[in-house]
Amino acid sequence: MSDFIKVLDHLHFTLKKVSVVKVLKPFIIENYYDIENTVIFPINSRLRYGKYTKKVKKESFLFIPANKVVSLAFGKGRSVRLSYDDFLEEKEKYVTKDNFLRRNPIDQKYLVLNFETKVLNSINIFHSKNLKPLVIERNAQTLSILKDIVKERYYRYPGSEKLIDLQSQRLSIEIIRYILSNQPLFSSIEENFKYFKDERILDLFQYVSDNIDKELSNKKLADFLNISEEYVGQYFKNNTGYSPQDYIELRRMEEAIKMLRSDDESIKVIGMKVGFKDTAYFCRRFKLMFGVQAGMMRKRFNEI
């Protein structure tokens, strides 16, 4: 419990996007993927997910951890199957944004939230090989939060954006609580708590973040920790599960993602700002890690 309290004390939440979409005709995205956590709440329609198209029940929602691939089926009736990239190319045929939530019982609408939740702005709390997309069913706390967000989107009261941000942050904490109380047999997100047992690793995370555009060799990491270069790889692996250079590349790519989302700078400039002097190499590593080119990832940020 003490580790959980530390996690909450150092939690850094960022709401990336909140929108309400209306389905124009049923469709299936075979490989939905986002580098942020995603919540999809069916307001008055059907949502299915996964290989066996499990149904998300009424007054429940689907939580998709960052970097997890999942099949999603929207709408009622005969559906068109699409890859995510194909959906992006033809999205106008399938969905439209409906920010004002006009009340029409025949509309098929969904609330979609994308957010980042990190500890000390370094550790993605939902990053775990054991954590899969999950449905949170008829949970009073989370359902109340989601309905409040929908209401704020509909009425647009003064301060609505601030309240939506606060409610979304509260939602992320409730999801953490739900996972901890309902998945006791798996390490799940609890594996991230181990970082608080050695504060040096937290200092190292911050050092990497502060110097992401510079050379970050094992020797520099060893010098920062005041340990031998031969030992730094073992130390890092024991404490994070990553080799030093694998972790550094992951952090560089996460920073690149942030810039692709918010900046208009070229791919070359973004690559250099996160420590890649060779643009071609940056593009190859990006495609290998995320499965799409950096330019396509930038396009995705404007979609569902």
- Smallest CA-to-CA distance from 62 within 76, 75, 74, 48 is with 48
Both 178 and 246 in a single domain?
A: no
Q: What is the reported pLDDT for 171?
A: 95
Backbone angles phi, psi at 235, to 5 degrees: -60, -45
Give me the CATH number covering residue 276.
1.10.10.60
Instruction: State the Cα–Cα distance between residues 48 and 28, nearest whole angstrom.
Output: 9
Name the β-bridge partners of 23. 95
Let me know: does 209 contact 219? Beta carbons within 8 Å. no
Instruction: State the Cα–Cα distance between residues 220 and 210, nearest whole angstrom.
Output: 13
Give me the CATH number covering residue 129.
2.60.120
Q: Does residue 1 fall inside a structural domain? A: no
Kindly give, in sequence order, each residue whose CB lies less than 8 Å from that of residue 177, ignoring residues fewer than 6 positions away. Answer: none
Range(s) of the domain holding residue 238: 198-300
Both 21 and 136 in a single domain?
A: yes
Both 167 and 19 in a single domain?
A: yes
Let me know: does 75 contact 26? Beta carbons within 8 Å. yes
143, 163, 189: which is the final residue of a domain? 189
Backbone angles phi, psi at 81, to 5 degrees: -90, 130
Q: What is the reported pLDDT for 111?
A: 94
Q: Does residue 236 fall inside a structural domain? A: yes
Confidence (pTM) = 0.81
Both 291 and 265 in a single domain?
A: yes
HSE-up of residue 244 (Cα within 13 Å, Cβ side): 22
* Per-residue pLDDT tens listing for the chain (304 residues): 555 666 677 778 889 889 899 999 999 999 998 888 999 999 988 999 998 789 999 899 999 998 888 999 999 888 999 998 888 888 889 998 876 656 666 778 999 999 998 876 667 788 777 788 999 998 889 999 999 999 898 888 899 999 999 999 999 999 988 888 876 544 567 666 666 667 788 788 889 989 999 999 999 999 998 999 889 888 888 777 778 898 899 889 888 988 887 778 899 999 999 999 999 999 999 988 877 788 888 876 655 5
Both 181 and 252 in a single domain?
A: no
Query: Structure tokens of 75?
Result: 């709408």
Q: What is the reported pLDDT for 6?
A: 67
Q: What is the reported pLDDT for 177?
A: 87
Q: What is the reported pLDDT for 157?
A: 83
Report the Cα–Cα distance between both ends of the chain, in Å, rounded.
36
> What is the three-class DSSP state of 170?
helix
149, 169, 189: which is the final residue of a domain? 189
